[in-house]
Amino acid sequence: MPHQTQFPLQALLNKLSETLAKPQTLPSRLSLALKTIAQDMGATTAVLYLLTPERYLEVYAIHDSVIPQHKKIRFRVGEGVVGFIAAIGKSVICDNITRHPNFLFHPGIADHVNLALLGAPLITPNGIRGVITLQNPPSNPFDTWREKVLIEIGNFFAQLPELERFPTLNTAEGKVSGMHTLKGISFNPGLTIGTAVLHQPYSWRETDISRNTKDESFRLKTAIREMIEAIDRLVESAPNLEKNTQAVLSSYRMIASDRGWIRKIQEYIQKGLTAESAVQKVRRHTRERFAQIGDQVLKGRLTDFEDLAGRLLKHLSGKDAVSEDLPESAILVARNLGPAELLDYDRRFIKGLVLEEGVHTAHVAILARALDIPVVGRVPLLLTHVEAGDKLIVNGELGTVIVNPNGEAFHEAREKITQIKRWHVLNKELCDKPCKTLDGIPITLALNAGLPIDLHQLAELHLEGVGLYRTEIPFMMRSSFPDVKAQTEIYGDIIEQAKGLPITFRTLDIGGDKVVPYMWRVQDENPVLGWRAIRVTLDKPAILRQQVRALIHASQGRDLRLLFPMISELSEYRQARQHVEDEWTRAREREIPLPSSLTYGVTLEVPSIVDQLEPLLKEVNFISVGTNDLFQFFYACDRTNPSISNRYDVLSSSFLKYLRKIFMACESAKVPVNVCGEMAGKPLEALALLAMGYRSLSLSGPVAGQVKKMILSLPLKEAESYLSDALESYAPSLRSTLLAFAKRNKVFV
């Protein structure tokens, strides 16, 4: 690389123009141009990212073999260092990319992360079109002169006519003034209004080399002891939490005390690193391993490790935990958060939590549910859009955050909060009333649950049992696989709390994006359609056999209802049932007391099994319709993707006809059927289900009062006739039609 005063920038730009004029495909010409840039600027790698219509920065051209050509490498705006460059519209230079606060490990470039990086945006008059980056080994970092050159090259690429077909990102989108709404994913329902408080994770300047390994080891041991004692105090400060939520904190403490990661830190200290550097080293390696796995549950556990590493660094430095004064109604805003970090704050003032990342199974999300704190997660560019002191409306039902709402939005939110309080009162008022429609038709309402903490709602709301118990959730919260004895205790506790009411246990729905950390992991390009649920437990039958064995032991003298998830073929149901029968025979031969009865069910959530309903209904005792997955498979639509989540409606005539077909088949075969998906918990959607013939709904406790009030006000026979006529159309949505019926007949929706 020539000295800055000698670098022939114009000559380089002329060479690039000549290269781009060659008669080749655009990606080929751009790759040749990147090769020229890398050679002239002394870089090993050059990459051009261009913006897609979906607002991703995707690799369009590459020089060198660092990033495999067949890999689709892309980042959201604001995600990783590349996305950060696009979000701020400025160049970035760093000697080691892993030390940049916005670093995001990508498994597609797993072996080449410890690199010096230089990046610049492609700025057009209309906004950012992409990002160009150069990379080198850490031994050959970039200087500010090369940064200036790359900025000019970025401007050159931004003006290329060939790239005008690519969209641009208006830099004003980085921080919008006035009221605006951010869209994420609901992690915990609820609605709240408050003031943004930005969570500041501990930052620390790295000093690599230690002078005395014994002193560093002693410092580490002291800091770990102090950290664990502090965590114990946090756990003790939350005595009113349910047993299962206490288990989350205990699991967190187990991670803190884990000898494995402590031993790795000690090993780096023995190699000459300071305690702080050793912690950071293990932190980075853990982050890289978790990123390669890529499943959502483990990403939640990664947050625990990040929290613990930052907490340990605080104790090494002697810094105190959070001690800031909070506004009366504080909305905590963070990239991510660990459960202990949430407890660091005064819980009297925390009214909501918003995360840029996170997963709904993360420990902090589970803890927030126990504390009744609304949570919205996976909000893109959250920390770019929200500043400390901003007024926020957090809607945990819709997964939205309104930033700096106007007077009308404030009024609507306050009215809604008042309405929610009325719903809680409604739950209590209606719980003693028989669940019958206005014209006297009885409807069964049952509970969807996944934690023992949920079961108190059975008695409070007078629900008729647990229509769906998600057995995988306790597995996700443990650090090791629960053996038969441990599982028997879990299920026994649940049965005891149900106090004789029926419980439908769904066998483990793990795999895909719900991988349990200590079990097999598979890299699925599309985890929702991958190795999950019954596919996992049939391939690993010991898991299913142990779970069934524990359920048999726990259900002695009681009815045992088993539900198999994600059945796609009749043969899968038969295999699963055979494993259960083998365990039943085993228990009988060993003279173990058996359940009083055993019934089998299947969750209808894959369209292929709907076409096999006739033979299936001859072999099952009941059917449960899982509308969440069934809907997204029906429309080939990822319901968690904000770009398309509102494109299709569960109240479309085509999907409702599909659900009616299922009900009619079950009714003809005289097989009981219920609905356990989200449709059952929304008054208008539940109205449609009842009008098609369904008489049993399984839903979450907080919405039971709303649905029950709808049922009590519903003239069902009239609704059946009305919907039957409406279904003759091929309307993409019957929502407005059903709302008109409800309004005319004074049905509560």
Can you give the CATH number for the domain in which 747 is found?
3.20.20.60
* pLDDT tens by residue, 644-678: 767 889 999 999 999 999 999 999 999 999 999 88
Rounded CA separation 343/362 (Å): 15
Instruction: State the helix-helix crossing angle for 243-256 and 363-370, rounded to 10 degrees.
Output: 150
- Burial zone of 321 (CB within 10 Å; 0-12 exposed, 13-18 middle, 19+ buried): middle
**695 & 730 share domain:** yes
Strand partners, 94: 117
Same domain for 342 and 265?
A: yes
Look up the pTM and report it: 0.55
Domain annotation covers residue 410: no
Taking residue 748's Cβ as centre, other Cβ atoms within 10 Å add up to 16
Is residue 152 domain-shared with residue 214, that is, in the same domain?
Answer: no
Read off the pLDDT of residues 490-524 as tens digits, 9 standing for 90 and up: 899 899 989 999 999 999 987 655 556 556 555 55
Same domain assignment for residues 157 and 219 = no
501 and 635 fall within a common domain:
no
pLDDT range class, residue 187, cuts 50, 70, 90:
confident
Task: Give the residue numbers spanning the domain of 114.
Answer: 9-172
Look at residue 690 and tell me if it is in a domain: yes
313 shares a domain with 258: yes
Q: CB-based burial of residue 212 (10 Å sphere; 0-12 exposed, 13-18 middle, 19+ buried)?
A: exposed
Tokens of 730: 């091929």
Is the residue at 110 inside a domain? yes
Instruction: Looking at mean pLDDT, say which of 5-9, 229-233, 330-334, 700-704 comes out highest.
Output: 330-334
Same-domain check for residues 245 and 360: yes
Give residue 295's pLDDT.
46
Arithmetic mean of pLDDT, 101-128: 73
Token pair, residue 260, equals 């494995």
- The label of the residue with tokens 């289900």 reads 689
CA–CA distance, 718 with 458 (Å, rounded to integer): 31
CATH number at residue 108: 3.30.450.40
Same domain assignment for residues 154 and 197: no
Which pair of tokens denotes residue 560?
């045992």
Closest-CA residue to 57 (of 27, 20, 26, 84): 84
By CB atoms closer than 10 A (0-12, 13-18, 19+), residue 339 is: buried
DSSP helix/strand/coil, 111: coil
320 inside domain: yes
pLDDT in tens, 16-53: 988 998 888 888 899 999 999 999 999 999 999 998 87
165 and 203 in a single domain? The answer is: no
Query: How far apart are the C-alpha atoms of 560 and 6, rounded to whole Å?
Result: 81
Report the pLDDT averaged over residues 147-170: 87
Residues in the chain: 749
CB environment 60-89: b (16+ within 10 A), e (fewer): bbbbbebbeeeeebbbbbbbbbbbbbbbbe
Where are any strands of DSSP class E within 32-102? 45-51, 56-63, 74-76, 92-94
Question: Do 165 and 213 fall into the same domain?
Answer: no
pLDDT at 110: 40
In a domain, 454, yes or no: no
pLDDT in tens, 239-267: 555 554 555 566 666 666 677 778 888 88
Question: What is the per-residue pLDDT across 599-647, written as a single tens digit (0 to 9) for each?
Answer: 999 999 999 999 999 999 999 999 999 998 999 999 988 766 656 767 8
Is the domain of 746 the same as that of 604?
no
Residues 616, 643 within the same domain: no
Query: What is the percent of the chain where pLDDT is above 90?
Result: 41
Please tell me the predicted confidence (pLDDT) of residue 112. Answer: 46
Res. 328: pLDDT tops 80? yes
The domain tally of the chain equals 4
pLDDT given at position 492: 93
Distance CA(162)–CA(156), nearest Å, equals 12
Residue whose tokens read 């069910």: 601
Q: In this structure, are residues 702 and 683 in contact, taking their beta carbons and an 8 Å threshold?
A: no
222 in a structural domain? yes
- Is residue 447 assigned to a domain? no
